[in-house]
Structure 1
Amino acid sequence: MTDAAPATGSVSTVPAKKRVPFWDNARFLCIVLVVTGHAIQRLTYDSDNALVLYLFIYAFHMPAFAMISGYFSKASPPTTRTMKKVLTDILLPYFIMETIWTVVQFLVEGKQEFNPSKPSWTLWFLLALGIFRLVLPYLALIRWPLLWAVLFSVGVGYLSNVDSTFSLSRAIGILPFFLLGWQIRQWRLVDRWQLANRVAWWVRGGAVVVLGAWLLAVILNIDFFRLVDLRFWFFYDDSYTALGEDQWWAGFVRLALIVLAVLLSAAFFVLVPRSATWMTGFGQATMYVYLLHSFVLYPIRETGILGGEHASAMWLVGLVFASIAISIALASPLVRRVFRPLVEPKPRWLFRVLDDAPAGPSKRDPTGSRRR
């Protein structure tokens, strides 16, 4: 699959930029994990099997997504084009979806509050991406930006006054993963080792062992993990005091979870297919899945059927397959065509005409996926 470039004459043409299937496959698998985690969340209260799968997923799925976004981000000084992209690709879709959520919650729950500073459910990641895009040029100016990002992530947990307002605590919490993705691009590790094209069989075997070891650890310690509410640590949202750990060493727990997330994400990326598959095309529309899947799951969650006698292994398996189906459906061409004005708004009327403003729409969505 390629993004065709226009011809510049009868003699020469601009080379077409070829898509790399690996990245689209990785995006789709990440978004399936996101949908699955949200779908089974209510089952975790009554089912150890659901909690095992939930903890297995949440240990690395958003860090992996943040790494992909960071890999395709640029740290160059802001231009008119990049500033417009922050507005049209991140902030405007956020306000649109937040407004829709306010209406939905009013109709279903009678909730009468419109507060864009408190993102609804899944929308926190959009604000986090906006923060990442704004601070990256500044972090790129200093030495050891990745080290500073880790220190910020660990340190913010000690500050109880930094909360989820504008997703600030969560953005700082997962900042190291975004920076790591960007740093890997700067080190040219993927290109140098051709990691997007092939991986040795023994590396894949090691990745299976790593993920299998984490799954086994969760299974064997599920009672303890439930007792300490480990899942809340994977949100990178609350302070250590709010998590029930006000000891000085609480930061080392987050540091250990960061290391774990990087290790599991690396294993995940190793196992992602390198060639074009049935999922490759769907990986180009992950923003549609991310922004719309919560509206599909919300009615199911609000009915209260997920839990109690409906927390069996059969229900868990059914929700996993339903999550895959939802992801495929929301990434389909029909859904993209219908919801494009909401997910990819292009309000040309909103902007002043500036001499240095380049023409043409943005070519990548906030996750780095190249638009067709």
Structure 2
Amino acid sequence: MTVVTPPPPTRPAAPKVRVPFWDNARFLCVTLVVIGHGIQRLIAESDNALIVYLFIYAFHMPAFAIISGYFSRPGAPNNRQMTKVITDILVPYVIMETIWTFVQFVVEGKQQFNITQPSWTLWFLLALGIFRLILPYLALLKFPLLIAVIASVGVGYFGNVDSTFSLSRAIGILPFFVLGWKANEWGIVDRWRRVADGGGWWVRGVAVAVLLGWLAVVAGNIQVWRAIDLRFWFFYDDSYSGLGEEEWWAGLVRLGLIALAVVLTAAFFVLIPRGETWITDFGTSTMYVYLLHSFILYPLRETGVISDERTSAVWLLSMILACIAISIALSSPLVRRVFRPIIEPKPRWLFVKQKEGPMRETRTDPTGSRRSR
């Protein structure tokens, strides 16, 4: 009689473990976005507000793009991934742009619905869509990061590449997205963890020195930065001629700002807590904060509550604290439950039935804030 040996029992797949560092990073980045928008109306008359504004804008959106790139996959997209570009980016964009058009009609009397010109914060949604579409092609090339940098610097020389569908801005910050993707491939975060576990206090000391050094440069030359409108360079939006710079070396300025943003972002990431903190859970709701905070700030700006007439340091500090509170409030489970249909819509009726299941629930957003590595 032949004895059949049963196969060894298969071990269940290990559950994915969230990395608190990334949730902490996402929440801090989106909070910097809210602060930047909250104090924007103060910078015309307040040097203190402009100092904070320039300090933040030098790296906060590059940092966001790096995080999004880190959680992106370069392979050829399947049906489900292509579907998610529509459900996670394009559909929310159309919904939010429609809402913005209605709000601006009620408040300002504007009667224009232009889907090609994203309102306020919506440009980043389109940029993420562009990144998702071109990453598989960039991944085929030998030097994708170098190509992204050349594209970012080069696009500034073409005045006909503008904010239509956020194209100029998407190309401008493309190097940061590609850097995030490559950082994942290179294992940079894992290397940093090993350094930190072995006692990385000296790295943190350098990071603090870098950020304080940038703050000192901004504060010590604030009138120069005001005179040359440095803040517009951090938008990665206008052409060099649109920024008032016609010289051939204008691209070198953008190249320098890209390098500055990378250094500042690295220093910022080094100082972010790696373990669970009281802000960690908030990091799963960054897209809610990003898309909804403008609806809180907009009426405050339009009614004059936030205006350049309020220039005191106390008022600036109050606005910063209020923006932090807004970020926390918009990260709450209640907000996610109420606004999920417009931030994370699931329009199953829009798609034909496919074998891969176009609407499988993955609970992620375009920045990767629901993913677990």
TM tier, shorter chain? Answer: over 0.9
Q: Report the AA paired with residue 132 of structure 1.
A: F
Counterpart in the other structure of 1:121:
120
Counterpart in the other structure of 2:246:
246
| Residues 312/177 of structure 1: CA separation in 2 closer, same or farther (3 Å cut) | same
Deviation at 1:357, TM superposition (A): 3.2
Deviation at 1:355, TM superposition (A): 2.1
Aligned-partner Cα distance in 2 for 1:349–1:308? 47
Aligned-partner Cα distance in 1 for 2:292–2:371? 18
Q: Contact 1:196 / 1:274 at 8 angstroms: preserved in 2? A: no
Deviation at 1:358, TM superposition (A): 6.1
Aligned-partner Cα distance in 1 for 2:334–2:221? 44
Counterpart in the other structure of 1:91:
90
Deviation at 1:189, TM superposition (A): 1.8
TM-score (norm 1): 0.95
Q: Report the AA paired with residue 306 of structure 1.
A: I
Q: Contact 2:288 / 2:343 at 8 angstroms: preserved in 1? A: yes
Q: How many residues align?
A: 363
SS of 1:112's equivalent in the other structure is coil
Of 346-355 and 302-311, deviating more is 302-311
Aligned-partner Cα distance in 2 for 1:338–1:196? 42
Q: 1:227-279 CA deviation, whole Å, 9 max, x = no partner?
A: 00000000000000000001000000000000000000000000001110000
Higher relative contact order (Cα pairs below 8 Å, separated by 6+ residues): 2
Aligned-partner Cα distance in 2 for 1:276–1:143? 38
| Residues 197/357 of structure 1: CA separation in 2 closer, same or farther (3 Å cut) | farther
Alignment RMSD (CA, Å): 1.5
Aligned-partner Cα distance in 1 for 2:62–2:351? 34
Deviation at 1:197, TM superposition (A): 6.8
Counterpart in the other structure of 1:15:
14
Aligned-partner Cα distance in 1 for 2:216–2:192? 31
Aligned-partner Cα distance in 1 for 2:70–2:337? 27
Aligned-partner Cα distance in 2 for 1:182–1:147? 13
Aligned-partner Cα distance in 2 for 1:371–1:262? 24
Q: Contact 1:22 / 1:196 at 8 angstroms: preserved in 2? A: no
Aligned-partner Cα distance in 1 for 2:302–2:371? 34
Counterpart in the other structure of 2:44:
45
Q: Contact 1:46 / 1:307 at 8 angstroms: preserved in 2? A: no
Matches within 5 A, 1:105-254: 105-194=104-193, 198=197, 200-254=200-254
Structure 1 or 2, whichever has the larger Rg, is: 2
Q: Return structure 1 stretches of 4+ with deviation > 3 angstroms.
A: 195-199, 356-359
In structure 1, the gaps of 5 or more residues are 1-9
Q: Report the AA paired with residue 76 of structure 1.
A: G
Counterpart in the other structure of 1:284:
284
Of 342-351 and 355-364, deviating more is 355-364
Q: Does 1:62 align with 2:52?
A: no
Deviation at 1:361, TM superposition (A): 1.2
Of 183-192 and 204-213, deviating more is 183-192
Q: Contact 2:351 / 2:358 at 8 angstroms: preserved in 1? A: no
Q: Contact 2:43 / 2:308 at 8 angstroms: preserved in 1? A: no
Q: 1:177-205 CA deviation, whole Å, 9 max, x = no partner?
A: 00000001111222244269756000000
Aligned-partner Cα distance in 2 for 1:339–1:196? 41
Q: Contact 1:22 / 1:197 at 8 angstroms: preserved in 2? A: no
Q: 1:122-142 CA deviation, whole Å, 9 max, x = no partner?
A: 000000000000000000001
Task: State the identity as a percent.
Answer: 67
